[in-house]
Amino acid sequence: MKISMTVNGSEIGGEVPDRTLLVHFLREVAGLTAANVGCDTSSCGACTVLLDGRSVKSCTLLAAQADGRDVVTVEGLTSGPDDLHPMQRAFRAEHALQCGFCTPGMVMAAVSLLAENPSPTEEEVRTALEGNLCRCTGYHNIVRAVLAAARDGAASASPAAGQAAAASPAGPGRPA
């Protein structure tokens, strides 16, 4: 079937088999390989992206379900490695990533969390990230990073905060 969606502000379309998962559409049609597949049971969250501003596990949706909708992946948070979103900055400052495989999903889940709850407690962060698995960090520094980003007001820099912000490829997520 033919589908089309906005991915990180750009229109991406293609002819794909009906059963194509959103994560495979992103990785193989859109060429955005940051979202990873870490399980086949919607358990790990390595594939987490924002769909119309809310975090979803992109292995659990068909690409067709995103037809005509707005997707933001970690690549769309900023313009590149020299320009970190406050959440990415906090992840780096707090050493919240090691191998990096869960990181794109973890960052998007964290961005989504702060959009819903701009100043969570440690317990709220831990509960909110229960659906995102990390085998390297013991979550200790991830939790610290999310709390630090919240203190720095990351929620207001989030594309999850509004559809409008996510519509511009270079703009979303830049620190004010």
Partner 1 sequence: MSILGTRVVRTEDPRLLTAGGTYVDDVRAPELAAAVRATFVRSPIAHAMVTGIDVSAALGAEGVVAVLTVADMDDLGPPPPPPEDGGDDEPGGEAAPVPLGGLWAEPLLAVDRVRFVGEPVAIVLTDDRYQGEDAAELVSVDYEPLPPVANAETALAGETLLFPGTKSNIAAMAGVTGNGSAGDGSIFDGCDVVVEQAIGNQRLAPVPMEGRAVAAAWADGKLTVWVSTQNAQISRFILAGALGLDPDAIRVIAPDVGGGFGAKIGIDRDGLIVAWAAKHTGRPVRWAETRSENMTGMTHGRAQRHVIKIGGTRDGRILAYALDVVQDTGAFPRMGGFLPSLTNLMATGPYAIGQVQASYRVVVTNTTPISAYRGAGRPEATAAVERAVDLFAAETGLDPGEVRRINLVPIDQFPYSTPSGATYDTGDYVTALDKVLAGAGYAELRAEQARRRERGDVLQLGIGLASYVEITAADAAGGETARLVVHGDGTATVYTGSSAHGQGHHTVWAMLVESELGIPMADVTVIHGDTDLIPAGVGTYASRSLQLGGVAVQKAAVDVKDQARLVAADLMEASEADLELDTERGVWQVRGDPATSRTWAEIAGHAGAEGLTAATNFTEGQPTFPFGTHLAVAEVDTETGKARLIRHVTVDDAGTVVSPVLAEGQRHGGIAQGVAQALLEEMVYDADGNPVTATLVDYAIITAAELPSFELLASETPTTVNPLGVKGIGEAGTIGATPATQNAVIDALGHLGVRHIDMPLTPNRVWAAINAAGENGGSR
Parallel, antiparallel, or unpaired: how do β-strands 10-15 and 70-72 relate? unpaired
Which of 7, 22, 30, 34 is the binder for partner 1 (CB under 8 A)?
Answer: 34
* From 75, 150, 154, 155, residue interacting with partner 1 (rule: CB under 8 A): 75
Which residue number, 6 or 141, has a Cβ lying nearer to partner 1?
A: 141
C-alpha dihedral sign at 86, 90, 93, 96: negative
Nearer to partner 1, 127 or 163 (CB): 127
Using CB under 8 A, which of 33, 60, 119, 121 touches partner 1?
Answer: 33
Q: What is the biggest distance separating any 2 CA atoms in the chain, rounded to whole angstroms? A: 45
Please, which of residues 130-149 interact with partner 1 by CB under 8 A? 130-144
**Sites for partner 1 among residues 80-99 (CB under 8 A):** 80-84, 88, 91-93, 95, 97-99
- How is 23-37 classified by DSSP, letter by letter? HHIIIIIS----S--
Complex with partner 1: residue 68 or 126, whichever CB lies closer: 126
Candidate segments 1-9, 34-42, 113-121, 163-171, binder of partner 1 by CB under 8 A: 34-42
Which of 50, 108, 115, 125 touches partner 1 by CB under 8 A?
Answer: 125
Closest CA to 88 of 101, 74, 70: 74
Q: How far apart are CA 85 and CA 112, in angstroms?
A: 13
| Host H or E run for residue 88 | helix 86-93
